Amino acid sequence: MIFMSSKIKKRELLDLIAQAGVIGAGGGGFPTSTKLSADNISHFIANGAECEPLLQKDIELMLHHPKEIASAMAIIGETLQIKNLYFSAKRKYTGIWQKIEPHLKSSGIQQIFLDDIFPAGDEFEIVRQTLGKTIPPANIPLAFNAIVNNVETIFNIFNSLKGKPVTEKWLTITGEVKHPFTASVPIGTPAKDLLDFAEPKLDTFALIEGGPMMGALVSIDEPVKKTTSGFIVLPEEHPIIRYRKMPMNHVLRIAASACMQCQACTDLCPRYLLGHPLEPHKIMRASAMPLSLPVNSMTAALLCSECGVCELFACPMGLSPRRINRELKEKFANKGIKYRCECENFDVREERDFRRIPSTKLIERLQIVDYHNVYPDFVADIPQIRRVVLPLKQHAGAPAIPIVKIGENVKAGQLIAKIPEGKLGANLHASIDGKIVAIAPDIIIRNSK
């Protein structure tokens, strides 16, 4: 059903988004219909920062579909009665601004020009740059009646209004490959199929799903998910890979023996610079002297965004404050411990403007200049994918419940797994035509043609 030229009620909008299985395409995969169901939203912000080095998927999406993104924003604004609409992207994206600016102006959408720093795409940074306000610790943009959505999420909302579910994902394949590219591919496509197209230059290599800062090590069998932004091929000995392969007991041991308390991890921490009481160097100190910090100083690890600045840019000793914060976050979560903000007044630190990290400096430090200097081609049509692996949980919340059986023939776009009744979750749709050959733990569809 198409609502492009007619008004739509809030419940209808949210239902269409939920039916289409739209989730946050640029982060944790929170179901979008739930996010937009909040009351009294005053600010809607489109996030087009694409701040992770090497990834170009949002850039290509904005270049090819500026009208659709602006149209969806306008419909969201009108339907949810949101007074202020903002489109945030880096100032340096001149080609994108030229294409989308007319559509933004005709819809009354304000343009927000972001600096080329990391992590410009973090929603705490986006809200600060857009509204001039700092989200309180352990809070979300709704603290200021604001919603932030990635531009691909907004594009998927546009498609949902036409009755088209989420079956494809925009992503970038780059690194040590002969043919780096950006494309929209069926969800569930194994990374191996995309690497066959890109042609790795190395016989043995490591693979990162996501960006070099926040991405995770995966195997070549890893399927594309609704949250996948790219795959990066790197030599196994690359520093980015060494950090990720370091055993946790080794991380703790060298933290206890080598941390010299220089405070560089804290001085450059984006959340600390926003005024949050997160001080990684103190948490590192506690690794050497357990129980040496008050509980609230330790639970400040829950404020960590895991951006990677501390370990991949700041620390002169090659330590991993992020890994330790992540370990603490998991332990606190398992015990049901939450961070309690005791600060009534806080604001960005005075030194913030001088300590923000330019993307060019980050790329040099990461030793990925050679990959950055090769712009991935945009590929409109990739070879047909004959097999997809669709995890039932690609989103925040409960896994989807299969509604198909092994041996059943399905069409691309067909609903194959539903949100559990009364639970937070997202519908799942077939991304290719084919036959169901497995259901648990993943739905696998094979096309024999």
Mean pLDDT, rounded, for 9-18? 96
Domain match, 281 and 343 both: yes
208: three-class secondary structure by DSSP: strand
Q: Does residue 102 sit within a domain? A: yes
Domain match, 417 and 428 both: yes
**Residue 370 burial class via C-beta count within 10 angstroms: exposed 0-12, middle 13-18, buried 19 and up:** exposed
- pLDDT reported for residue 337: 86
Distances (CA, A) of 40 to 45, 77, 83, 143, 257: 15, 12, 10, 11, 51
pLDDT at 252 over 90: no
- The 3-state secondary structure of 264-313 reads HHHHCCHHHHCCCCCCHHHHHHHHHCCCCCCHHHHHHHHHCCCCCHHHHH
Q: Does residue 345 sit within a domain? A: yes
Q: Does residue 5 sit within a domain? A: no
Q: Does residue 344 sit within a domain? A: yes
- pLDDT reported for residue 202: 96
- pLDDT reported for residue 295: 65
- pLDDT reported for residue 6: 52
Domain match, 151 and 27 both: yes
Residue 144 DSSP code: G
CATH number at residue 188: 3.10.20.600
Handedness of CA 325, 330, 331, 333 (dihedral sign): positive
Question: How many structural domains are present in the chain?
Answer: 4
Pairwise pLDDT comparison (252 vs 31), residue with the higher score? 31
pLDDT at 1 over 90: no
What pairs with residue 113 in β-bridges?
Answer: 89
pLDDT at 381 over 90: no
Mean pLDDT, rounded, for 96-111? 96
Express each pLDDT in 115-158 by its tens digit. Answer: 999 999 999 999 999 999 999 998 999 999 999 999 999 999 99
**Quick one: pLDDT band at residue 5, thresholds 50, 70, 90?**
very low
Residue type, 61: L
Task: Decide if 172 contacts 53 (C-beta within 8 A).
Answer: no
pLDDT at 291 over 60: no
Distances (CA, A) of 427 to 16, 187, 292: 11, 13, 46
Written as six digits, the tokens of 414 are 């067909």
445: three-class secondary structure by DSSP: strand
Domain match, 347 and 402 both: no
**Quick one: pLDDT band at residue 2, thresholds 50, 70, 90?**
very low
- Number of residues in the chain: 449
pLDDT at 173 over 50: yes
- pLDDT reported for residue 363: 97
Q: Does residue 248 sit within a domain? A: no
Report helix, strand and coil shares of the chain as percent, to nearest 5: 35, 20, 45
pLDDT at 324 over 80: yes
Mean pLDDT, rounded, for 264-278? 95
Domain match, 435 and 302 both: no
Report the alpha-carbon distance of residue 402 to residue 411 in Å, rounded: 15
- pLDDT reported for residue 142: 95
302: domain range?
257-356
Domain match, 92 and 200 both: no
CATH number at residue 398: 2.40.50.100
Mean pLDDT, rounded, for 274-284? 91
Q: Does residue 222 sit within a domain? A: yes
Q: Does residue 348 sit within a domain? A: yes
pLDDT at 350 over 60: yes
Q: Does residue 152 sit within a domain? A: yes
Domain match, 118 and 214 both: no
Q: What is the pTM of this model?
A: 0.95
pLDDT at 190 over 50: yes
- pLDDT reported for residue 250: 83
- pLDDT reported for residue 388: 98
Task: Decide if 366 contacts 312 (C-beta within 8 A).
Answer: yes
pLDDT at 429 over 90: yes
